[in-house]
Structure 1
């Protein structure tokens, strides 16, 4: 169907609408990558190099997309990736969580149910883990190695008490914040000085301004999930970032310790090298995410989809493998699954959806991906996502860029 005022038919259209609605600084905070943006671009472009081997007869009348990740059953192989403070909509992560819990997509195998999936919630989120777990029972709480062991564990256990079903530890970050196109200004907090500074941007985006005016609040740039364990005020985003930045990098022994203390499903996010994948298995991970932080880590790192096959080959079925980076359509998800991923995580795609249409926009993005996966399964003659293999793909020589690993 063609796009309408209340519906967009592609993630690209969601991005265009997000750009029209958001102030320039907010929009560019969503789209930028580190340094020159080589990895950011490759995350998307690499998918275009992979082709399909379709079939044309005896195609399955219905296709199954459900799977499990971190012990949770999800109705499509797409998860919400954790992202930091979301100033694109007043409801922030709560709106995302509601959309993921009930996407308004009718399940063709059970018409009485709607399709739902899980959500990664950032420790740098603008809404508390308690608020988010209240509207979605498949939340995976994400932590950075920020602060002491005791502080990190306290945040994790708070999330478990709130109802989080799994823990995601993000390790892929080298603090390469320089961007050739320039980093957008982000205020420490929304005080009178900040409002005056950003007024010229915001006044030209009346819909964004009206949405926040109706909410009766200003964008909150504090991070409630980083409240000190012994009490005190929530730090600002930059305050939390400073804690993370100044904390010594963790060792594999640190990760194994946290895994043991957590005692539940445990994902390590940021794997790009087979050696790290094997170390993650040794540390007791339940799952790993092949990810380069959406192109915001070490620029020049290949696309996540290029690293996926070597990582899958390194760990076999010892651990669940998901992929995060560059997913813009259902066909991208199918390509990742055929290369061995159990599911994909999306970041920018759902943020653009929320910027375009709030909670309904997030549901719209999930619907686009769900239908795209279904169409690709039909074309490949597959009854289920679990039947996908590398034989369904046409992969160019040296696609993985991993011949020396």
Structure 2
């Protein structure tokens, strides 16, 4: 287990909602000043000066709707209430179309040292389909401004598998992304979630989602293309230029280490209990104005739930599942319960055992959900 913890800060504001997004956010930007006051009150209630923090992530929503002074204020509030490491990884999500060159210059002085830029695509038609507020030219300019201001640790978010997307069009996106020389790329399959505009269009027959065969093909293409471009495929949706450029913050989630979440709809985990804040800006602010923690729900994880999450999250990663760590956590050898399934996976050449670790290979990762479901059936 890591001696440090991570902090996630949710900024639930957007200019408009993207067609695929089910994260909690609102478009009423006039609430931002009061929201930040409520955030400071939550920090006051939960402060822990002895808790060492070495990753902070400002996500959303659209955190880049905050001005530089507000970003600096949030980070200073955090430093005043926790022991933030000098070399902490501090990430800010950036949406193209919300910031200019001066923004990045000012951001350097706040302590932000990693950017996650939501490009999603360099294809204007695809961006319109996703209901993004920016176009391809704005995405390129945003990257140029960030690099021009001296940011080196930059991650690009891309989405693939939109209805009708071809291999050629996706390769063009990957080519343009790698030409910008980011240190990290997150490439996500489009998932159509209930409650989103795309889900309603799907129900009405307006769009037909890409089939699983197409998605698997694009996934394999993505991995091979980015590997040739010098990226390490270290998690099923994440690629880095060497281990040093992996997302330290997101790696904590995959390692099941404790993390603290602040803001409306933010989640926290202390190693045993997972809890979340109100999925409502108004309720979040009301509770905090009364001096109450804005909790919506909490859940104590059972041993079976912890085991399920451990298997699911570790098999998403390049290193896979450590047999000794599994036995230490759950007090029995992995092979005792899952030996037959493991043998089948290895016999079908979908994974490998090396130095006490079980990991899926690229083909195995195309069957990740099925493999996890089969393993989980041995838990429940």
- TM-score, normalised with respect to structure 2: 0.37
Per chain length, whose mean CA-contact separation is higher, i.e. which structure has more relative contact order (CA < 8 Å, sep 6+)?
1
More strand by share: 2
